[in-house]
Structure 1
Amino acid sequence: MESSWKGRVKRVHLEEEFSEVEKAAQALSLAVTEDFIPIISRIKATTSTFGGPKGEVLYAREHEAVWFKGKRFAPAVWAGTPGEEQIKQLKPAVDSKGRKVGEEWFTTIKLEDALTRYHDAGEKAKAKVLELLRGLSAELQTKVNILVYASMVLVIAKALFAHVSEGRRRKWVFPTLTGFNDSKDVESLDDANRMELIGLSPYWFNAAEGSAVQNTVDMRSLFLLTGPNGGGKSSLLRSICASALLGICGLMVPAESALIPNFDSIMLHMKSYDSPADGKSSFQVEMSEIRFPCNWSLIKKPRACR
């Protein structure tokens, strides 16, 4: 039978209530065996082609009760055969309001007593479970912040573990991060803030299985990437942008080795349209959108004014 309180608290915390419920369940099972099973055996032993006796033990979910459901099982002549005594003990089943459930539902006094005992034991166990949970809630109320923080740290730790495990399986590496150089010497600035990715592969492919085309990228300043449609330009830009983002976050990147500067921002720009209300063409809109104050940023802009 269903019990909503089961599984919410370990048995060690309410051993007495668990034992009482088990004893009540055994008494209920015994009552079913003694009062209903002989009738079931009698019905099964009766052979009739049409209109024979029928009967079965069912759990009435709506009423939370175990009853006997049958028809035409009473003998025409009482001769003291097996099962007759149990049939005489049957009485119509009633609901919690004392109303008769139906013509085919039956119970016994012994079964009703066992069922009441089982329900009482279940209610006591349920009350004890609620009491324990309320006590635990009151105790943890002052430690909610600690629990939330610990759960967040656990989620982050699991995510980092999964990232490193998958990265090692795919032969990714931790990058070397370089600090920002604000020197006015253009050549030294380009050398210091260069981004070098050797053996770069798309992060959605597994380089360890040989299913990805690897590239070497050496970026020092502005560069222009050209090629035919379907040649892999967008895939390379996505791979570079993803590697930069993973690198500055301290995570592994999909490359054999990586040197990544400390970008202060990463921008991904998508398709834009003209703005007649502002008197701007599509090119002006795109240029104004990528104008923002930054010292050293990584900007990926595929197909300007497409």
Structure 2
Amino acid sequence: MLKKVRTVLDDVLDIERILGKISQDKANPRDIIGLNESLKCIPKLKELLHLEDIKKLNSAADSFADTAPVVELISEKLNEEVPAQLQQGHVFREGINKELDELRKLASGGKQWIAEMQESEREKTGISKLKVGFNKVFGYYLEISKIHQDKVPETYIRKQTLVNAERYITAELKEYEEKILSAEEDIMAIESELFAECCQKILDRADLIQINAKLLNRLDVLTTFAHLAIQKKYCKPALVSDAVLDIKDGRHPVVENLLPASDRFVGNDLKMNVDKSQIHLITGPNMAGKSTYLRQVGLIVLMAQVGCYVPAKKATIGMVDRLFTRVGASDNLAGGESTFLVEMIEAANILNNATAQSLILLDEIGRGTATFDGLSLAWAITEYLHNHKAVAARTLFATHYHELTELEHTLERLQNHHAAVKEFGDQIVFLKKIMPGPGDKSYGIHVARMAGLPGSIISRAKDILNHHLEESMDQSGTSISPEASKQLSMFEQQEAKFKKDLDEVDVDSMTPIQALQKLDELKKKHGL
């Protein structure tokens, strides 16, 4: 049944849009035919919805209003094939208006009349090459080549001279031209009047058409939901009043659809209870899947509350009164607002309007300003969401500030999670999995290497990073003394030099032979 209903709905246009165009006198003949074809689908749909003894489907079928008179009106008056614009004519059927039919005969008989006149004038003048033509400047004319100028009758009036010919008009030709032109104008006037009458009769039943439009829209949405649920293996969510979220193997409905056939979307779980785990703090490197995870949770909650099955194996969704997001970096140059100001405006909107029943998705708060300012604001916002009952909403907060993970020790309803990464030497693999516990590194330099930054920049960035890490450890009193840190063995020094030279090699730009030659050169340089 689902497939049959969707097939019928394929022929249904946006009825509400067409009604809007009719009410504003902006509709064209094809809009009216589209409305007719859409309303014609209703009897077929009613029949299909009554095939099964399902109360809600039967009730939906019985709810359609009677718009058969509208279908009858359009079918009787308009041709099945109509032009895109009313001015092109031939919109209405023959027999609708007697005067219109007569004018059409006059206009359509023009070609035959011209052919007969052309033949008649050729016989009268003896000019076999005489022809009747038309242009927008002079209208109809008789064209005669200059070699036959001596045969031109005195009744011909010269109108235009060409290189090899002369063009003439006659009283008879002009009289017929006026008839044809006035006929076309009269046809346009009559069809415009008939079209306006037809539109008004349709608007007289607009309330009934609106009822059917809403039913068709609802049916279209629900059948699409059903089709997606079957095709994508969505599950039926359980909606509860408690402030919880329990999602098993949740997926992003858009991203999974865009993946190549050879890739599989990695599902993620979410278990959140406002009484025990109100805030999930998610750390991890860029490209690890944090933003996708936040977005998929928001979409799953939204889909569940609009009545759609959701992309997960199992889902229990606590009803959400508002969904707040602070995702992505953007500015408002026209309004004089920087990226950071936009962030703060959005954060203020969330803090001032969220309730305990809301869902908040925060991605990188405070990154548009100095590191310590951003960290301080992110820290304070997290504490505020945790400590104020009025805004203690379920919150997913993705951040690069690893210092925030310390909040787990002071905020009892905050839990640390991280985007899992597997390290292989200098290479990393994003597992796209959100795991419990804080992340240990940002892997920013690894991501930069993957993006294709030159090896010399990567090597220099590592040196600077190590320098700052050592300074940080020195200040905290946890590092070894400067003297001890410099006492490297001869082998360690040699290994460090070799690693540095190796890091500077751009393997991606080398052929296999060049790579082997470079490796041999390095071995000789370092005595390996």
CA distance in structure 2 between the aligned counterparts of 1:219 and 1:90, rounded to whole angstroms = 96
| Aligned with 1:195 (options 232, 240, 246) | 246
Residue 74 (structure 2) pairs with residue 13 (structure 1): no
Partner deviation per Cα, 1:40-84 (whole Å, 9 max, x = no partner)? x9449xxxxxxxxxx772341x67x4444x464451554xxxxx7
Does the C-alpha gap of structure 1 residues 272 and 90 become closer, same or farther in structure 2, counting only changes over 3 Å?
Answer: closer
The 1-side partners of 2:175 and 2:364 are apart by 82
Partner of 1:4, secondary structure, is helix
Aligned: 1:265 with 2:330: no
User: Is 1:173 aligned with 2:234?
Assistant: yes
The CA distance in 2 between the partners of 1:107 and 1:256, in whole Å, is 84
What SS does structure 1 have at the residue aligned with 2:280?
coil
1:135 to 2:211 alignment = no
Aligned with 2:362 (options 285, 301, 304)? 301
Residue type of the alignment partner of 1:129: E
CA deviation map 1:279-298 (0-9, x unaligned): xx999877654323423222
Over the aligned positions, Cα root-mean-square deviation in angstroms equals: 4.1
Shift of the 89–284 alpha-carbon distance from structure 1 to 2, 3 Å rule, reads closer
Contact preservation (8 Å) 1:194, 1:219: yes
Cα distance change of structure 1 residues 272 and 43 upon mapping to structure 2, 3 Å threshold: closer
The CA deviation at 1:5 is 5.9
Aligned to 1:186: none
For 1:58 and 1:283, the matched residues in 2 are separated by: 68
TM-score, normalization by structure 2: 0.40
From 203, 216, 235, the equivalent of 2:268 is 216
- Structure with the largest fraction of helix: 2
Identity %: 17
Q: Distance in 2 between matches of 1:200 and 1:3?
A: 50
Letter of the structure 2 residue corresponding to residue 177 of structure 1: A
**What does 1:221-260 align with in structure 2 at a 5 Å threshold?**
221=273, 222-260=279-317
In structure 2, the partner of 1:118 is: 180
Find 1:29's aligned residue among 94, 111, 120.
111
Question: Residue 300 of structure 1: CA displacement?
Answer: 0.9
Distance 1:122 1:286 in 2: 61
User: 1:263 Cα deviation (Å)?
Assistant: 1.4
Deviates more, 1:194-203 or 1:230-239: 194-203
- Asked if the contact 1:178/1:259 (under 8 Å) is kept, the reply is yes
How many residues are treated as equivalent by the alignment? 257
2: CA distance, partners of 1:219 / 1:12:
71
Distance 2:90 2:233 in 1: 43
**Structure with bigger RCO (C-alpha 8 Å, 6+ apart):** 1
Inter-partner Cα distance in structure 2 for 1:247 and 1:12: 55
> Retained in 2: the 8 A contact 1:31–1:110?
no
- The 3 A distance-change label for structure 1 pair 17 and 6 is farther
How far the C-alpha of 1:227 sits from its partner, in A, is 2.0
What amino acid maps onto 1:179 in structure 2?
A: V
Question: Quick check: 2:247–2:312 contact (8 Å CA) kept in 1?
Answer: no
* Kept in 1: contact 2:237–2:316 (CA 8 A): yes
Counterparts in 2 of 1:56 and 1:137: CA distance versus 1, 3 Å: closer
Gaps of 5+ in 1: 45-54, 79-83, 94-101, 182-188, 274-280
**What is the CA distance between 1:137 and its match in structure 2?**
4.4
Q: Which of the residues 134, 139, 147 maps onto 1:58?
A: 134
> What SS does the corresponding residue of 1:106 show, helix, strand or coil?
strand
Q: Is the 2:250–2:267 Cα contact (8 Å) retained in structure 1?
A: yes
Contact 1:17 1:124 in 2 (8 A): no
User: Offset of 1:180 from its aligned partner?
Assistant: 0.5
**Per-residue deviation at 1:25?**
3.2
Q: Secondary structure at the match of 1:263?
A: coil
Query: What amino acid does structure 1 have at the position aligned with 2:157?
Result: K
Aligned to 2:191, what secondary structure does the other structure show? helix
Whole-angstrom CA distance in 2 between matches of 1:284 and 1:30 = 77
Return the letter of the residue paired with 1:260: I
SS of structure 2 residue aligned to 1:250: coil
* Cα pair 2:240 2:317 within 8 Å, conserved: no
Secondary structure, in 3 states, of the residue corresponding to 1:224?
Answer: strand
- Give SS of 2:247's match: strand
Tell me, yes or no, if the aligned pair for 2:246 and 2:317 is still in contact at 8 Å.
yes
Give TM-score, length-normalised by structure 1: 0.64
Compute the displacement of 1:267 (Å). Answer: 0.8
1:227, 1:305 → 2: CA distance?
16
Match of 2:45 in 1: none
Tell me, in whole angstroms, the C-alpha distance in 2 between the residues paired with 1:145 and 1:90. Answer: 63
Letter of the structure 2 residue corresponding to residue 4 of structure 1: Q
Q: Distance in 2 between matches of 1:259 and 1:168?
A: 17
CA deviations 1:122-177 (Å, max 9, x no partner) are 34433332332343344455444444554455455445555554x25851525323
Residue from 264, 280, 290 that aligns with 2:350: 290
1:217 is aligned with what amino acid?
A: D
